[in-house]
Structure 1
Amino acid sequence: MHLVWQGTDPDAFLDHITDELAHDFGIGHATVQLERAPCERADQSGMARQPTHKGEKK
């Protein structure tokens, strides 16, 4: 998984992401790559999208 993130505690964020993947989807191990800025190729391919939160429509 490739994510754009601009917080102050990457370890806490990764813990949160892996906990959510395990809880919501039963994924016990994931490789997550954090970037500080959006990737141009993702924007051009239509892969970039805004994050959603539980309960919001995509």
Structure 2
Amino acid sequence: MIKPKNVYRGHSMEKVGYGKRAVFKTTINEREWSAVTELEVKTAIDAWIDEGIEP
């Protein structure tokens, strides 16, 4: 079964790893960006879209 990618405000987020070693990756402004928690990635996407600030 194929898992759908997690998409938040038009940006796809990918979970790499599992358990405590999981990292969430996304591409913001054509650059790879990653964080330990999904909330940090969503906050970075919000900042980029709403305020134009790079994470």
Question: Where on the TM-score scale, by shorter chain, does this alignment land: which range?
Answer: 0.3 to 0.5
Higher strand share: 2
Higher helix share: 1
TM-score normalised by L of structure 2? 0.33
